Structure formats: C-alpha cells, structure tokens
C-alpha cells in the first residue's frame, strides 16, 4: 500500500467523467488499498479515484473511523439507484479543495448500488452523513466538485477563500 498524492482543484482531471472499472483485478484491488491508506492519512472520510489521478468509477469511504471504529467501504462502478425527496444543506469539505468548507444541498437518504472487490454486486440504504459522503464521492466520478453545487455568489466566496488558503495556481501544478 502507498499514500498517493491528492489532486487539487482546478486540475482538469477532477472535471472528467470517469470510465467504468469493470471486473476487479489485482490492479484495482491495489488502487483501492492505496486509496484507503491515502484517505486515512489525509485525514478524510472519503476519496474518489479521480482525486488520485485515476479516471475510473471507484470510491472509498469510512464515515466512522474518526470515532474509533474502522468500517471502510470500497465501491466499484457505483450507482445512485434512489434519492429521497427530503434534502438538507450541510457543511462539506473536500480533500481536493483544502481549506474550504461549503454548504451543499443533498438528499438525506439514498440507495447505493456498487460492486465490491470480489466482483459481487450490493445495494445499501444510506442515511445521514453516510448518504452525504457517498453523494459527494459519487459526484467526483462525474467530474462534479462541491463548487459546482453552489450558487454563483457562494461559489465566488468559496473560490476566494480557497485562493487565500494558498491554493496552487495552474502555473505551479504538475
């Protein structure tokens, strides 16, 4: 396992729609292990493959580890099968937009379909923070950042905060 560098916005790879993973192989399992290690080291509660420069439909999350209980979830080719009509706005941070927390409107509940590392398909009913985290990571697979979910005015403020935080400029990016 290895900690991988996390891309930061506005890296163009973060705006790309990702390709399906398909059947999991050793390379996918290694990527998932690296992503979990990277997420925990960051320290975050979720990480999508494009955030480490891999444009495949894969994300990892663990919404309980900061409370002392590891419960990692690896989702290959996830699909949001259902979203509740009930929504809530809540604070969201992103490892690819360090130093910025924004208020994002999300469904309070979702049904998530995904394939695990053994190739088995699952469905999970997620509520609360787990539902929000899964929607956030799923957005990454479609090239959607939290900035894209904001009003123009809120986005301008968030981008100013990001710039003041010391966001890397496009000239300094590799």
CA 13, 48, 10 angle in degrees (round to 5)?
A: 30
What is each CA distance from 149 to 45, 78, 105, in whole angstroms? Answer: 20, 20, 8
Are 125 and 109 spatial neighbours (Cβ–Cβ below 8 Å)? yes
**Catalytic residue chosen out of the listed positions 109, 123, 137, 160:** 137
Contact criterion met (CB below 8 Å) for 122 and 90: no
Of 162, 160, 104, nearest to 135 (Cα)? Answer: 104
| Region class of 128: left (phi > 0), else alpha (psi between -120 and 50), else beta | left
* 119 upstream amide cis, omega within 30 of 0: no
Examine the residue annotation and report whether 109 is marked as an active-site residue of this protein. Answer: no
Q: Which residues are catalytic?
A: 137
């Amino acid at each position: 396992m290895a900690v991988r560098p996390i891309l930061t916005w506005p890296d163009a790879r973060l705006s790309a729609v990702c390709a399906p993973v398909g059947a999991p192989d050793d390379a996918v399992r290694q990527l998932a292990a690296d992503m979990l290690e990277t997420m925990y080291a960051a320290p975050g509660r979720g990480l999508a493959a494009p955030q480490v420069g891999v444009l495949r439909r894969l994300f990892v999350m663990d919404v309980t580890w900061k409370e002392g209980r590891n419960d990692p979830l690896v989702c290959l080719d996830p699909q949001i099968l259902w979203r509740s009509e009930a929504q809530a706005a809540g604070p969201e941070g992103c490892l690819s937009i360090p130093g910025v927390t924004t208020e994002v409107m999300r469904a309070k509940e979702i049904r998530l379909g995904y394939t695990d590392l053994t190739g088995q398909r699952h469905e999970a009913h997620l509520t609360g923070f787990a539902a929000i985290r899964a929607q956030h990571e799923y957005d990454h697979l479609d090239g959607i950042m939290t900035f894209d979910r904001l009003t123009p005015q809120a986005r301008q403020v968030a981008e100013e905060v990001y710039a003041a935080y010391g966001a890397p400029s496009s000239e300094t990016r590799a």
